[in-house]
Chains A and B, each alone.
Chain A
């Protein structure tokens, strides 16, 4: 019995169901009389079975985050002049953003330290929702997001968050003066001091290259995001008249620009 007969070349295709009826029948007849081909077939089958062990290959949440972060960076580089093209987002996007902002407000307002709360609550939801709000449409106004903005008392902000149509008051509040969030950090305990150090390190890594772009911190929130310990950082960019909300991983400063919004 030779080992390199034509039938042997067909064994993998037979295993994969890729042979026609005639070829298959012929090969089956051959296998039943050829011990060597039957043995090779069994070995091929075992090999294919081994390969199926490798089917499970999930990116970690950190991988998913890094990917979206890289995409956001590439998009900003691609976009060139800021706001040259503001895409029309669907109303679904605005709803998704409201959901996220609502969650963040909740996180920010809970806990013992009333303005800089650390909680174990996660912002959940399909990743497409959580990440899919980079560009906002015109219909999403500041009133919806103002719960995020610094106020003297977050309880008041939380109360006001449902929206009474007077978004301008809040806009006035954060447009001048020292950022309230930084004051919070300075007056807080050692835990918060550690957060401050970490945030500053991430900020310099993240924005150190952005020469000439001034970011005024509006609010820092310690939270978890997609199963990762993170900071939410809200900035005003006065020269560009817009806000940015960043999420930064505490462990490695991995980051994603969650959304941008024009300042009124």
Chain B
């Protein structure tokens, strides 16, 4: 992520050797990514906070046994997705509709109008995302939101690249319909001509 500072490998070695500060640097480095994955998987900031804590507390124990050949980033992506799904399962509920919780958090400074508009759209997208299956949501969160390539998604989810490819495609088609970019026709699916709908 950053070209300066120690590499992930160096931080891991220092942590395993007993340097507690190395772990703090690992937290600094991956905190945002883990939080972002959890937020988009669960759809709720409070859940994202809980999941982040679970991930890093697991990391305290798990990282000393970390396999050399694996990437630390891959590990965090995988654990963040799995911890999010576990969290949702434990609560025996579906991901939260972000529109419900949009007012719960302090806003980040002043909001220009266009920013407000895109925030509303973002909430719609998050709401649509939550209607997808766990598998479909995970590939879109990692690929389209976290910007991993197909191979990166395949590593993170431990599935073949071919599966990633077809899953992303199906997930996007489904989401496109939910967001009004595509509509069903008698022959199948075609592009919607109207503006995006809210359903």
Contact = CB atoms under 8 A, between A and B. Distances in A.
Given A51-B125, A51-B144, A127 B28 contact: yes
B135 interface: no
Given A47-B172, A59-B31, A135-B20, 9 more contacts: A13-B168, A13-B169, A44-B173, A46-B179, A51-B125, A58-B32, A60-B105, A74-B57, A90-B21
Contacts of A42: 181, 191
Contacts, number: 156
A64 B45 CA distance: 12
B27 interface: yes
4 smallest CB-CB distances across A and B, nearest first, come from A3-B188, A39-B191, A57-B36, A12-B169
21 contacts: A12-B168, A13-B165, A40-B182, A40-B189, A42-B181, A44-B169, A52-B144, A53-B121, A55-B36, A55-B147, A58-B32, A60-B45, A60-B106, A63-B35, A63-B45, A71-B56, A78-B61, A87-B19, A87-B20, A88-B19, A89-B19
A50 interface: yes
Nearest to B60: A74
A67 B28 contact: no
Contacts of B126: 54
Given A39-B191, A46-B181, A132 B52 contact: no
A63 B52 contact: yes
B169 A9 contact: yes
A64 B56 CA distance: 12
Summarize A's interface: helix, strand, loop or mixed: helix
Given A43-B176, A46-B181, A12 B145 contact: no
How many residues of A sit at the interface, in one of the four size bands? 35 or more
Given A13-B169, A44-B176, A59-B49, A36 B190 contact: yes
Given A43-B181, A70-B57, A74-B57, A11 B27 contact: no
B150 interface: yes
A131 interface: yes
A16 B52 contact: no
